[in-house]
Amino acid sequence: MTVCIDCRMIDASGIGVYLRESLPRLLQSGNDFLLLGNARRLRCFTPNANVQIIECDVKPFSLKEIFFFPLKTARQINCADLYFSPYFNIPRSVTIPVFTTIHDIIFPDMPELTSRTGLAARMWFYRRAYKKSKKIFTVSEFSKSRIQCHLGTAKPVIVTHSAIQPMFLEYRANVQNIQKTQTIVFVGNIKKHKGLDILLDAFSLARKEGLPHKLVVIGAKENFRTSDNTVLKKIEALGGEAVAFTGFISDEQLMEHLAKAALLVQPSLYEGFCLPPLEAMVLGTRALISDIPVLREIYGGYPVTFFRAGDSGHLKEKMLDILLHEKPASLDLSNDLLLKYTFEKTASVILGELQ
């Protein structure tokens, strides 16, 4: 069997991790593979005798991909037996069986995140992917249920969890007895569903009650849009001594921040899977997370602490309990929990469904 894999988003954030970590494991299956994307970026995979590269610089979800995709490239893709995408974009003129991935379907669930036109455009892509796909992969039972709610139940939706990157396990093994600092870490962007505004309210209340810790936001302050003035004002009111932005950081720096933090807070209102709590716990840091259904699903059985989603007062109480009263030491996850989500398992499920 020859499989064409769309690798154009290999350097993206969450989707890129899902692809980069799954791909080497897929290539070991004994099948033949055509990798669609930047030849220079994918050169590291060409030593495999079963791999060929299809050079393609057409942007996913672009007008060119949908209406003017190069016919020569489409013919190369159609030489394969099937097409697999780690996202839900499908180039025009692909005629072989298609398998796509919808990580979440947030926009119809939270339409306030976009305009009516933006929602209509996104729903068009969702429905197009659903119509053209033989099977759809997603990363949680929650996302599966929402896909079926919005798009239907006629197509198989297969859960292939995201997973911890091996480098986190290696870092954990090689770095011992890290000294905890008085920092709380938030990993994410400033979009409303990530809940940073809720965390800022809770953090402000906790500071008034004596919490000495600093909030470290893993991300760049420059990424704030003008529509985020409310959040910016909250940050400015707290002051630079209380809240710090890291800007862009390397994977090594991210792991260091997570390992040294006293607590990671994940105040999300919506997620498809959500890796930061797992990454923090693997590195010995406790996680305080919202009790939304998907986090209840993914982190059931893990030593996390839940708070009521959207409730800054409850989040404040939990932060104070953990940081001032319990004074947590480093976590030490069991092997079962360390290896509950792995890309070996993810790739195995994908391979089992590609037929």
What would the pLDDT profile of 251-277 be if each residue is shown by its tens digit?
Answer: 999 999 999 999 999 999 999 999 999
Residue 226's pLDDT is 44
Query: Which residue, among 67, 72, 61, has the nearest Cα to 9 in the 3D structure?
Result: 61
What pLDDT is stored for residue 190 in this prediction? 73
- How far is it, in rounded angstroms, from Cα 205 to Cα 186? 17
Which of 157, 165, 205, 126 shows the shortest CA–CA distance to 18?
Answer: 165
pLDDT value at residue 314:
98
* Mean pLDDT, residues 102-112: 95
- Which two three-digit tokens encode residue 163? 């997973």
Judged against a pLDDT cut of 90, whether residue 315 lies above it is answered with: yes
Beta bridge partners, 354, equal none
- Whether 223 shows a pLDDT value over 60: the answer reads no
pLDDT at 200: 94
SS3 of 214, please? Answer: strand
Identify the pLDDT of residue 328: 63
The stretch 106-116 carries a mean pLDDT of 94
SS3 content of the chain, % helix, strand, coil (to 5): 45, 15, 40
Helix segments in 179-323, DSSP class H: 196-208, 229-238, 251-260, 276-282, 293-299, 312-320
Task: Tell me the average pLDDT of the chain.
Answer: 92
Q: Provide φ and ψ at 220, rounded to 5°.
A: -110, 130
82's tokens: 């099937």
Checking if the pLDDT of 355 tops 80, the result is no
Q: pTM for this one? A: 0.91
- What is the pLDDT at residue 79? 97
Cα separations (Å) of 119 from 63, 114, 115, 254? 17, 6, 6, 33
Q: Express each pLDDT in 180-220 by its tens digit.
A: 899 999 998 778 899 999 999 999 999 999 999 999 998 75
Separation CA 301–CA 275 (nearest Å): 15
User: Identity (one letter) of the amino acid at 33?
Assistant: F
Give the least confident one: 22-36, 110-124, 231-245.
Answer: 231-245
Residue 20 exposed, middle or buried by CB count within 10 Å (0-12, 13-18, 19+): middle
Instruction: Identify which has the larger pLDDT, 240 or 172.
Output: 172
On the question of pLDDT at 280 being above 60, the answer is: yes
Instruction: Give residue 330's pLDDT band: very low, low, confident or very high (50, 70, 90).
Output: confident
Distance between CA atoms of residues 78 and 227, nearest Å: 44
What average pLDDT does the segment 75-81 reach? 97
User: Is pLDDT of 54 > 60?
Assistant: yes
Let me know how many helices (H) and strands (E) the chain has, helices first: 16, 13
CA distance linking residue 220 with residue 218, whole number of Å: 7
Q: Strand, helix or coil at 224? A: coil
324: Cβ contacts below 8 Å, ≥ 6 apart = 210, 211
Stretch 233-238: mean pLDDT, rounded?
Answer: 74
334 contact partners, CB below 8 Å, separation of at least 6:
none
Lowest mean pLDDT among 199-203, 216-220, 222-226, 345-349: 222-226
Cα distance between residue 264 and residue 38, in whole Å: 36
Which of 97-111, 145-159, 172-186, 259-273 is the least confident region?
172-186
The domains located in the chain, with CATH, are 2-163+342-353 (3.40.50.2000), 166-338 (3.40.50.2000)
Burial of 271 (0-12, 13-18, 19+ CB in 10 A): buried
pLDDT band at 347 (very low <50, low <70, confident <90, very high): very high
Asked if pLDDT for residue 224 goes beyond 60, the answer is no
Lowest mean pLDDT among 7-11, 156-160, 187-191, 251-255: 187-191
